[in-house]
């Protein structure tokens, strides 16, 4: 497998035009990036700047609220992993993290069939009391990311030699999660990380990072490659599920964050996950067991936020 020492920047503007040849060329570049680094930047993505600025401003507003207000939205009070995750709260065996978060998924009311059935992955989002602008900024951003993720899914499919729409039916009521992350400035002598080395669980991630820097990606030689902020871009990375879906043709690469910028860092990952009911069988062969998406993502969420889901795990 080829190693990498830089993370490619790919202008995907042509994916939005009606030019199959150009789209094919972009898809091929994306495919090569997914096979080597498992990480790439996109520019020319068409997400309006005010939408991006809006979500960063919303995050700054939220993390500036009094601690008591943030705590009122604690994910521990949510039956479905939505809300605020205070600093340092992680699963068993995971070291303290210099990170707090706000997270949401599809916003589903009591009449939704999955909510009625008691699913811990489906339910309502939680919002601060005077947070109408906050909510609008996040919902607008979530829609923009959904549209971008559809275009990326089509590019992944083309890169794999599949029909462009191959992945779409797996993402009709997706378990996709949006998180706002706040990394306070890290004391130089503090050896805790914002996020320690890990791979992402789901299909793929669209990450917005502010100008602080601090994200690093591990190449196969074990060196940490900085994913420095590129203005106007998003960082895309392949997750474990897409690695499995492609029988490791696309790679899920370890990465970590330490905020040594001396100021607060905000990032906004959008974790694209298929539907609860989706069953993933490898696109390139049949050597791997099918994977039931819902239980897999649910198990990862239960491990990450053990206080959040009061409903007992399915047996």
Ligand X SMILES: O=C(O)CCC(=O)C(=O)O
Stretch that binds ligand X, among 68-76, 78-86, 207-215, 216-224 (CB under 6 A): 207-215
User: Segment 222-261, which members bind ligand X (CB under 6 A)?
Assistant: 255, 257
For the beta carbon of residue 23, count every other beta carbon within 10 angstroms. Answer: 20
Q: What's the full length of the chain, in residues?
A: 315
For the beta carbon of residue 139, count every other beta carbon within 10 angstroms. Answer: 15
Q: Quote the CA–CA distance of 106 and 194 in Å, as a whole number.
A: 26
To ligand X, the closest distance from the beta carbon of 131 in angstroms equals 22
To Fe ion, the closest distance from the beta carbon of 218 in angstroms equals 12
Q: Pick the closer one to ligand X by CB: 134 or 271.
A: 271
Alpha-carbon separation of residue 106 from 139, 174, 175, 199, 295 (angstroms): 10, 8, 7, 23, 17
Q: Quote the CA–CA distance of 211 and 145 in Å, as a whole number.
A: 20
To ligand X, the closest distance from the beta carbon of 20 in angstroms equals 33
When asked if residue 269 is in the footprint of ligand X (CB under 6 A), the reply is yes
Q: Which of 58, 89, 164, 195 binds ligand X (CB under 6 A)?
A: 195
Q: Which parts of this chain interact with Fe ion (CB under 5 A)?
A: 200
To ligand X, the closest distance from the beta carbon of 257 in angstroms equals 5
Say what the alpha-carbon torsion angle 35, 302, 115, 126 is, to the nearest 10 degrees.
Answer: -90
Q: Quote the CA–CA distance of 36 and 211 in Å, as a whole number.
A: 25
Q: Which of 104, 181, 238, 242 binds ligand X (CB under 6 A)?
A: 181
To ligand X, the closest distance from the beta carbon of 239 in angstroms equals 9
To ligand X, the closest distance from the beta carbon of 281 in angstroms equals 26
Q: Is-contact 156 30, C-beta < 8 A? A: yes
Residue 215 touches which of ligand X, Fe ion, none (Cβ within 5-8 Å per kind): ligand X
Q: Pick the closer one to Fe ion by CB: 108 or 227.
A: 227
User: Segment 10-69, which members bind ligand X (CB under 6 A)?
Assistant: none
When asked if residue 267 is in the footprint of ligand X (CB under 6 A), the reply is yes
Q: Is-contact 153 162, C-beta < 8 A? A: no
Question: Would you state the structure tokens that stand for residue 147, as one six-digit string?
Answer: 């549209």
Q: Quote the CA–CA distance of 94 and 196 in Å, as a whole number.
A: 9
Residue 267 touches which of ligand X, Fe ion, none (Cβ within 5-8 Å per kind): ligand X
With residue 41 as reference, give the H or E element that holds it.
strand 39-43
Q: Which of 200, 210, 216, 298 binds ligand X (CB under 6 A)?
A: 200
With residue 195 as reference, give the H or E element that holds it.
strand 195-198
Q: Pick the closer one to ligand X by CB: 85 or 164.
A: 85
To ligand X, the closest distance from the beta carbon of 255 in angstroms equals 5
The size of the interface with ligand X (CB under 6 A), counted in residues, is: 10
Q: Quote the CA–CA distance of 149 and 271 in Å, as a whole number.
A: 10
Minimal CB distance to Fe ion: which residue?
200
SS3 content of the chain, % helix, strand, coil (to 5): 30, 20, 50
Q: For binding to ligand X (CB under 6 A), which residues are involved?
A: 181, 195, 200, 207, 209, 215, 255, 257, 267, 269
């Amino acid at each position: 497998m080829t190693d990498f020492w830089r993370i490619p920047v790919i202008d995907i503007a042509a994916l939005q035009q009606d030019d199959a040849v150009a789209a094919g060329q972009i898809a091929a570049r994306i495919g090569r990036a997914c096979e080597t680094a498992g990480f790439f930047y996109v520019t020319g993505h068409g997400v309006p700047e005010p939408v991006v600025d809006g979500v960063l401003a919303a995050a700054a507003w939220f993390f500036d609220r009094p601690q008591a207000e943030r705590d009122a939205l604690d994910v521990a009070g949510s039956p479905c992993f939505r809300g605020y995750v205070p600093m340092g709260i992680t699963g068993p065996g995971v070291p303290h993290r210099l990170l707090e978060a706000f997270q949401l998924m599809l916003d589903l009311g009591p009449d939704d069939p999955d909510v009625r059935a008691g699913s811990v992955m489906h339910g309502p989002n939680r919002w601060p009391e005077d947070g109408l602008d906050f909510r609008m900024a996040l919902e607008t951003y979530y829609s923009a990311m959904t549209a971008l993720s559809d275009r990326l899914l089509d590019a992944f499919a083309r890169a794999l030699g599949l029909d462009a729409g191959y992945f779409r039916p797996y993402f009709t009521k997706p378990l996709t999660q949006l998180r706002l992350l706040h990394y306070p400035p890290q004391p130089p002598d503090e050896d805790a990380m914002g996020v320690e080395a890990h791979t992402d669980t789901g299909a793929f991630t669209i990450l917005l990072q502010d100008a602080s820097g601090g994200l690093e990606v591990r190449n196969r030689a074990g060196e940490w490659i900085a994913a420095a902020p590129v203005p106007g871009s998003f960082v895309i990375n392949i997750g474990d599920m897409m690695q499995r879906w492609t029988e490791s043709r696309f790679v899920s690469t370890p990465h970590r964050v330490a905020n040594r910028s001396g100021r607060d860092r905000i990032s906004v990952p959008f974790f694209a996950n298929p539907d609860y009911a989706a069953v993933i069988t490898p696109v390139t062969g049949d050597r791997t067991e099918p994977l039931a998406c819902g239980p897999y993502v649910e198990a990862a969420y239960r491990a990450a936020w053990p206080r959040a889901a009061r409903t007992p795990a399915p047996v």
